[in-house]
Amino acid sequence: MTAEGSVDAAPKDAAHDTYVPSARRLERERFKRARARRATAVAAVSTLVTGVVLLLVVVNSPGWPRTRQTFFSLHYAREALPDILEGLWLNVRLLAVCGSAVLVLGMLIAVARTLRGPVFFPLRALATAYTDFFRGLPLIICLLMVVFGIPALRLQGVTTDPVLLGGTALVLTYSAYVAEVFRAGIESVHPSQRAAARSLGLSGGQTLRFVVLPQAVRRVVPPLLNDLVSLQKDTGLVSIAGAVDAVYAAQITASKSFNYTPYVVAGLIFVALTIPMTRFTDSVTARMDRRRAQGGIV
């Protein structure tokens, strides 16, 4: 049946030569909008009811007055907020510097692992050993080993700054994870792409740079953003080295008053920073999924 004979086909307006939606299509659109509004209303009501129930359970518990005083004191929150915000600037700088270093080092390791030919076997073996070791080593142990182990060696010209050492430990650990993300993207590129590039006269390096890596990076943007979100949270672990970041500033304030509200304030600030990045990651993922479904990404 042709488009003109279809039930949902839009008839032409003779005066303006434009398509006018059919009554059935308009009805279906109205039904979809009504169903979407109904689903939104049900979700809002169920969320509200769940929140009210949880709130009542918490505030009516026997230990709530003491918990509120210890963890949710407005007085101590106002007292700790300036120091926590000052320490947060260190976390932001660590995220910017370490994130950039992680992306560069992770890409180099991924490329080393995907190099072909027996002559590159030692490089592939070293890259594999690196990723296996630092992916298996807990981040907290890596931080302790770097922060306290390197100064204990008393090497000439090697820094003992806890911020630099803590950032180094973050880069060592996260570059192993990011390298595997990049490697997955590189290996997802179909071999025909390489063959086509080589048939056009591109060298192996040019094929990797101009054909493989651009496609690989586009495909792994969402997991890369997720790793950066995790890195943003883990910058708070440098506090174990004595660096005064947001977490350590909260610890200092809490140790003076034996009130744990500063920890809650620091946690909420990290959550407030993480949520926009998470939503941005979700939007990028959804946009790339739509483009892939439409054939927009090779």
77-88 pLDDT, tens per residue? 999 999 999 999
Q: What's the pLDDT score for residue 295?
A: 61
**Burial of residue 170, with CB atoms counted within 10 A of its CB: 0-12 exposed, 13-18 middle, 19 or more buried:** buried
21 lies in some domain? yes
88-141 pLDDT, tens per residue? 999 999 999 999 999 999 999 999 998 888 888 999 999 999 999 999 999 999
Domain match, 39 and 118 both: no
177-221 pLDDT, tens per residue? 999 999 999 998 888 888 888 888 888 888 888 888 888 888 888
Of 221, 222, 224, 245, the C-alpha closest to 234 is 245
- The answer to whether residues 184 and 220 touch, using CB atoms and an 8 Å cutoff, is yes
Domain match, 47 and 140 both: no
**Chain center to CA of 288:** 16
Q: What is the bridge-based pairing of β-strands 18-19 and 12-13?
A: antiparallel
4 lies in some domain? no
The pair phi, psi for residue 59, each rounded to 5°, is -70, -20
75 lies in some domain? no
Domain match, 205 and 244 both: yes
267 lies in some domain? yes
9-32 pLDDT, tens per residue? 445 555 556 767 788 888 888 888
214-264 pLDDT, tens per residue? 888 888 888 888 898 899 889 988 888 888 889 989 999 898 888 999 999
Instruction: Find the domain containing 116 and state its range.
Output: 80-293
- Structural domain total, the chain: 2
For residue 250, give the CATH number of its domain: 1.10.3720.10
